[in-house]
Structure 1
């Protein structure tokens, strides 16, 4: 059984919740742009530039995946903790069996598998991530340990 978001956060000892942001992304013309902007704003002054860039990239990827595979993005939540942040994207999809795959390249340099590369990026940049069933769909959650940042 997958851990809950609370268990995942607890596993990484991110400290107390400092700030919570909910963003309704349904029906927005450019939800990825809004997700990037909101993630950057929420972490401004709380993390290093590299940590913010990693979080922004993952937020963008999670929203893009929700648009492409999850029957539309519904919302994004950013929870900022003393030592980290979680990004959670809710969509209407019900498949919680997401598996990240590294892109494979054939002998002449062509990328062979097109699917799963986004979650591969999420797995590379986030400290941890998970998919969990929620009412009305699923949430994909990425956890970032920002130890050593400006938090």
Structure 2
């Protein structure tokens, strides 16, 4: 089983938890928009603009995947530590095998990846680490973002 966010943070010394948000997305008409706003707002002041944009794009992709493949997202979970952030999207689909755990792109050219397969490649490219875990009533896809030097 992949490490939890708490395991990664404590193992690598990313500091104390400074913010936790659990946003219910089940009744929103535009859950991707909600996710983008929530991530940008939460990370403002903790990360540089480029890293915030990375996290916003990943959150958008994870929520979009839940909408397209899992009947919709249930929640967006944000944990912000002094030197990292964790963005996770939970849904009700228990099929973790449907999520490609190792998207690859040997040429590093997005044009070589079918449009329907680009999302998880972008998640892997933009996050420090990511994983999928089966939960009691679904799954959660988590992306971990270590801050870059000079973020604060």
TM-score range, shorter chain: 0.7 to 0.9
- The aligned runs of 1:1-151 (5 Å cut-off) are 1-97=1-97, 98-99=99-100, 100-102=102-104, 113-151=114-152
TM-score by length of 1: 0.87
Shift of 1:45: 1.4
Q: Which whole-Å CA distance do the structure 1 matches of 2:116 and 2:2 have between them?
A: 22
Asked whether the 8 Å contact 2:26–2:72 carries over to 1, the reply is: yes
SS at match of 1:116: helix
Q: Which whole-Å CA distance do the structure 1 matches of 2:46 and 2:87 have between them?
A: 15
Structure 1: gaps (5+ residues): none
Q: Which whole-Å CA distance do the structure 2 matches of 1:19 and 1:112 have between them?
A: 36
Q: Which whole-Å CA distance do the structure 1 matches of 2:5 and 2:45 have between them?
A: 25
Asked whether the 8 Å contact 1:103–1:113 carries over to 2, the reply is: no
Shift of 1:111: 5.7
Q: Which whole-Å CA distance do the structure 2 matches of 1:82 and 1:149 have between them?
A: 12
Q: Which whole-Å CA distance do the structure 2 matches of 1:12 and 1:139 have between them?
A: 22
Shift of 1:6: 2.4
TM-score by length of 2: 0.86
Q: Which whole-Å CA distance do the structure 2 matches of 1:129 and 1:11 have between them?
A: 16
Give the superposed CA RMSD.
2.1
The number of residues matched between the two structures is 147
Asked whether the 8 Å contact 1:102–1:116 carries over to 2, the reply is: no
Asked whether the 8 Å contact 2:46–2:82 carries over to 1, the reply is: no
Asked whether the 8 Å contact 1:103–1:114 carries over to 2, the reply is: no
Asked whether the 8 Å contact 2:103–2:124 carries over to 1, the reply is: no
Q: Which whole-Å CA distance do the structure 1 matches of 2:7 and 2:134 have between them?
A: 15
Q: Which whole-Å CA distance do the structure 2 matches of 1:5 and 1:70 have between them?
A: 23
Which is helix-richer, 1 or 2? 2
